[in-house]
Amino acid sequence: MKTKHKLLTIENLSTHFFTQDGVAKAVQGVSFDINKARTFALVGESGCGKSVTALSIMNLIPKPPGKIVSGSIFLEGDNLVKLNEKKMRRIRGNRIAMIFQEPMTSLNPVFTIGDQIAEAIKLHQKKPSNQAWQMAIELLKKVGIPDPDRRVSEYPHQMSGGMRQRVMIAMAVSCNPDLLIADEPTTALDVTTQSQILELLSSLQKQNNMAILLITHDLGIVAERADQVAVMYASRIVETSSAKDLFAEPMHPYTQGLLKSIPTLGCKDKRLYTIEGNVPNPLQFPTGCKFHPRCPLGCDDKRCQRAEPELRQIGDNRTVACWYAAGYETENERKEYEKKYGKRK
């Protein structure tokens, strides 16, 4: 593998929330690599653990009740899970920055946007205030806000959602981070603004050579922007692949279902495909493969009901966690299966 291009390596990350009703295993054994200057997309339904993964990388899990119970997150050699709060603060904003889903509430309403961008700059770089202010204006220009000299001293409530998201992006890229975590950056924006924001992110990525972890449930965005994709379902990754391969040939039945349920232009008369059932409750996951109650292939399969498939490498740069995926089963496992449950249909 091309280890030298890896920026962030997550190994076997598990984050649990110890609530009064029991342990919610929000993230279980998640592993993936993010390469330098590439876009890595994390896809999944609401509540599948995407955002918790992102917050775990930043070490911003609200604790208690949350806790990273195992695993490691390496940012070019430093294990972020082990770092103390002080060292972690130096990484936040400086090497890993984050933008959030809701631009309307991510800016502090009582400060001007210039104050907020300048604060982010001053926290990590020794800069006098007026210089930080000048940089803030430059950044606003860079993220495409018209008339930045004037806009810099305005308050968040005077801006539209798209502009606020641009301001958030300006804050996030102010210290040239190596990795930008974008947690559903366009969910709260309308479609035309969405594409502008994504365009902006791409151009900043090229300029700053920065990697992006794009968290989304919008497969359209993934197809357009991502290099690598990981599909999450019920707190685990079920499939990773390059974006091209994923759309050409999805291997996990969940991914297949997701792709089938995207409406396509021109087919009016067919009903849209849906994945039956609901996302399982993280307090009570089903046994075996977590997807089996909703799976068209494995719902009656005894093994799917009992044994959870691990993520295995299939072919070049692809991993999948499904007993039914082509090339997943080893010969021994197949024999064992047939001995136990009889011949597969």
Name the residues that contact another protein, by CB under 8 A: 58, 60, 64, 89-94, 97-98, 100-102, 105-112, 119-120, 123-124, 141-142, 144, 146-147, 150, 153-155, 158, 168, 171-172, 203
- How many Å apart are CA 217 and CA 222, to the nearest integer? 9
Minimum CB distance to another protein, residue 271 (Å): 37
Minimum CB distance to another protein, residue 144 (Å): 5
Residue with Cβ nearer another protein (25 or 92): 92
Minimum CB distance to another protein, residue 193 (Å): 14
In DSSP terms, 43 is beta-bridged to 216, 231
Minimum CB distance to another protein, residue 51 (Å): 11
Residue with Cβ nearer another protein (74 or 155): 155
Residue with Cβ nearer another protein (50 or 92): 92
Burial track 63-75 (b if 16+ CB lie within 10 A, e otherwise)? eeebbbeebebbb
Minimum CB distance to another protein, residue 132 (Å): 13
Torsion of CA 98, 101, 102, 106, to 10 degrees: -10
Q: Are 329 and 336 in contact (CB under 8 A)?
A: no
- How many Å apart are CA 82 and CA 74, to the nearest integer? 10
Residue with Cβ nearer another protein (142 or 290): 142
Residue with Cβ nearer another protein (45 or 102): 102
Residue with Cβ nearer another protein (10 or 152): 152
State the DSSP string of 40-65: EEEE--TTSSHHHHHHHHHT---TTT
What is the bridge-based pairing of β-strands 211-216 and 179-183? parallel
Q: Where are the beta strands (DSSP E) in 5-112?
A: 6-19, 22-35, 39-43, 66-75, 78-79, 96-99
Residue with Cβ nearer another protein (153 or 287): 153
Which amino acid is located at 156 in the chain?
Answer: P
- Give the side-chain half-sphere CA count within 13 A for 244: 3
- Angle 15-18-19 from CA coordinates, rounded to 5°: 130
Minimum CB distance to another protein, residue 123 (Å): 5
| Long-range contacts of 251-254, Cβ-Cβ distance < 8 Å, separation of 24 or more | 251/314, 251/318, 251/320, 251/322, 251/325, 251/326, 252/291, 252/320, 252/321, 252/322, 252/325, 253/291, 253/295, 253/296, 253/297, 253/298, 253/322, 253/324, 254/291, 254/294, 254/295
Minimum CB distance to another protein, residue 241 (Å): 29
The full length of the chain comes to 345
Which amino acid is located at 341 in the chain?
Answer: Y
Residue with Cβ nearer another protein (23 or 123): 123
Minimum CB distance to another protein, residue 66 (Å): 13
Q: Are 208 and 143 in contact (CB under 8 A)?
A: no
Residue with Cβ nearer another protein (207 or 287): 207
Phi, psi of 250 (to 5 degrees): -70, 135
Minimum CB distance to another protein, residue 235 (Å): 21
